[in-house]
Amino acid sequence: MSSSSSPPPPAASTARLDLDGNPIAPLTICMIGAGGFIGSHLCEKLMAETAHVVYAVDVYCDKIRHLVDPAPPHLHGRISFHRLNIKNDSRLEGLIKMADLTINLAAICTPADYNTRPLDTIYSNFIDALPVVKYCSENNKRLIHFSTCEVYGKTIGSFLPTDHPLRKEPEFYVLKEDESPCIFGPIVKQRWSYACAKQLIERLIFAEGAENGLEFTIVRPFNWIGPRMDFIPGVDGPSEGVPRVLACFSNNLLRREPLKLVDGGQSQRTFVYIKDAIEAVHLMIENPARANGQIFNVGNPNNEVTVRQLAKMMTEVYANVSGEPPLDEPMIDVSSKQFYGEGYDDSDKRIPDMTIINKQLGWNPKTPLKDLLETTLTYQHKTYKEAIKRQMSQASASKSLARRDEARGEERRRRGEESENRKAMGNAGSSPEQAAGNNKEDAEASRPPPSTVRFYPSADQPKARQPPPIKLEEEDVPPPPAADEEMAPRNLWQVYALGAFIVLRWAWVKWKESKDRDDSPDGRSPDGSS
């Protein structure tokens, strides 16, 4: 992309003002987790609409590759990618020192991991975040830390009887940053490991602000959704992975599988479009006087649905986007234990109160749920459909080969068992003929399957079997020739030659006798006969 085809940064042509009318100076921002879902959209926003400089810190850059690998000419010097893991890399402190503002987006934030990888979840969201808070506090750098709406835990109303009228009162389920209690389940429900770690790091940040003057803002996202959210298992994420609800349902739709509703999909949630939410973060970045020391809910209470209703809407929207009719049974119910494993728990409702963010930043979400689902599912279909087809085709071929190998193995096993049974049952009292038959069948069973025999012989291939000799019964065998028949003629010309020889021999004998009589004086033969 050339610089002539792209507009210059807005700050180069016009002065930008904050909400109080003050000029906005360009900032250097250290963004930890810039390669993820939220980070990629925030980087795009800052590059397109501001003159800020971004140090993009992450282990992967796939979702921001179009910005950093390589950076387009008009972004040279404005965004740089730093591949590092915040767990053990000393370069992190140097980047934070060089920046005016640090935004920490790094976290394990997939519900399937909370109760299956609780230690990793706690370390990622609390232990690994400690150095970031420490470096910002010690170097007097401002921090925007991303927390979660899960810190609220369960609503007060969830502890009331199902038919209790107070369950419908807003004060029993609407979640307020500075008033609502944080109520978690029992320790054995490890699903709360994520929420607990996030709440504890919030308390640490708040304490650093109170005691050491750390300038901070805490963000509590309420289900931000849109393109590039999470991953599609087996395509750009692990095959066994379980992403969050939107990506999970998208994966089912792309594969034409029923959408799995955990415990009937009765939990209620609100969903906000990622671009609306990024606008709120943009306001926090550029209005520090209004954002410092604040905790902000960022969600859309107008987009409240049950998970079952969300599944129904996504099925309908995807049918329009893809042109594929819905399945006859588009949804199935699964238990939380079956889907997430032991130790899973959940909250019934998560409805954000928007008073503080509206008052401090004047922000309100704009995008209705159906519109954001249409945008998101259009992206998912264009990005993943062909890759899913290829993956499913390869998987089908692999299954066919596996079934064939399994069938062959089963046949060999069956033949082996039959051979062992014959040996065990027959060898003790069988006749020699039966034993010979058993040995022959054993040899047949040990032969390799036909597909393993090559057409061209090789050193490692057994020689082709010869046909068995013809066995004649005793009465079919001709007797040996008699002594006087050993020289009997076998062909017609031999008969003629023998006959001629006998005739000539007889003629010669007669001639000889006649000659001897003629030569004798008394007319007798020499031997005295007459």
Answer whether residue 334 is part of any domain.
no
Residue 517 banded pLDDT, cuts 50, 70, 90: low
Antiparallel, parallel or unpaired: β 304-306 and 268-270: antiparallel
Strands (E) across 203-315 are located at: 216-221, 224-225, 259-262, 268-270, 272-273, 294-298, 304-306
Task: Examine the pLDDT at 430 and tell me if it is beyond 70.
Answer: no
Degrees to nearest 5, angle at CA 170 with 166 and 172: 55
Query: Does residue 152 contact residue 180 with C-beta atoms inside 8 Å?
Result: yes
The runs of H, that is alpha helices, within 7-152 are 10-13, 37-49, 65-68, 91-98, 111-114, 118-122, 130-138
Q: How confident is the model at residue 481 (pLDDT cuts 50, 70, 90)?
A: low
Q: Tell me: the pLDDT tens digits for 216-270?
A: 999 999 999 999 998 887 787 776 667 889 989 999 999 999 999 998 888 899 9
Residue-level pLDDT at 431: 56
- In this model, does residue 320 exceed pLDDT 50? yes
Q: The pTM is what?
A: 0.72
Task: Give residue 429's pLDDT.
Answer: 53
**From 135, 152, 173, 194, active-site residue:** 194
Please report which confidence band the pLDDT of residue 452 belongs to, taking 50, 70 and 90 as the band edges: very low
**Which residue has better confidence, 516 or 376?**
376
C-alpha–C-alpha distance, residues 213 and 227, integer Å: 37
> Is 137 domain-assigned?
yes
Six token digits for residue 514: 């006649």
Residue 402 counted as domain residue: no
Q: CA 348 to CA 177: how far, in whole Å?
A: 18
Longest Cα pair distance anywhere in the chain, in angstroms? 176
Residue 416 clears pLDDT 90, i.e. is over it? no
Q: Which two tokens stand for residue 482?
A: 């008699």
Q: Give counts: helices (H), strands (E), the chain.
A: 17, 15
- Please provide the DSSP assignment of 430-488 as one string: --HHHHHHHHHHHHHHTSPPGGGS-SS--TTSPPPPPPPPPPPPGGGSPPPPPGGGTT-
In total, the chain counts a number of residues equal to: 530
Lowest mean pLDDT segment, chosen from 6-10, 141-145, 313-317 = 6-10
Q: Does the residue 149 lie in any domain?
A: yes
- Tell how far CA 425 is from the center of its chain: 50
pLDDT band at 379 (very low <50, low <70, confident <90, very high): very high
Structural domain contains residue 203: yes
Per-residue pLDDT tens over the stretch 33-84? 999 999 999 999 999 999 999 999 999 999 999 999 988 999 999 999 999 9
Q: What is the pLDDT confidence band of residue 366, given thresholds at 50, 70 and 90?
A: very high
Q: In this predicted model, which residue has the larger pLDDT, 497 or 177? A: 177
Asked whether the bond before 479 is cis by omega within 30 degrees of 0, the reply is no
- Domains in the chain: how many in total? 1
Q: Residue 184 is part of which domain span? A: 107-229+270-303+349-373
Q: Tell me the mean pLDDT in the region 72-99.
A: 93
The β-bridge partners of 54 are 29, 79
Confidence of residue 142 (pLDDT cuts 50, 70, 90): very high
In a domain, 359, yes or no: yes
Q: Which two tokens stand for residue 501?
A: 């020889």
The CA distance from 377 to 363, in Å, is 26
The number of C-alpha atoms within 13 Å of 487 and in the hemisphere containing its C-beta is: 2
* Domain CATH for 210: 3.40.50.720
Would you place residue 447 in the very low, low, confident or very high pLDDT band (cuts 50, 70, 90)? Answer: low
Q: At what angle do helices 369-426 and 307-322 cross, to 10 degrees?
A: 90
- Please determine, for residue 182, whether its predicted confidence score (pLDDT) is greater than 80: yes
Structure tokens at 329: 């049974």
When mean pLDDT is compared across 55-59, 301-305, 349-353, 454-458, the lowest value belongs to 454-458
φ/ψ of 491, rounded to 5, equals -130, 160
> How far is 521 from 223, CA to CA, in rounded Å?
152
Residue 488 pLDDT greater than 60, yes or no: no
Pair of tokens at residue 216: 């901070």
* Cβ neighbours of residue 427 closer than 8 Å, sequence gap 6 or more: 435, 438
Give the Cα separation of 145 and 143 in Å (integer): 6
Q: Give 359 or 247, the one with higher predicted confidence.
A: 359
Clarify whether 194 is annotated catalytic: yes
Distances (CA, A) of 450 to 368, 455, 458: 63, 11, 16
Q: How far apart are CA 511 and CA 505, in angstroms?
A: 10
Which span out of 50-59, 325-334, 387-396, 420-429 was modeled with the highest average pLDDT?
Answer: 50-59
Which of 101-115, 202-216, 332-346 holds the top average pLDDT? 202-216
Give me the pLDDT at residue 448, please: 56
Query: Does some domain include residue 122?
Result: yes
Whether residue 391 lies inside any domain: the answer is no
CA–CA separation, 239 vs 323, rounded Å? Answer: 26
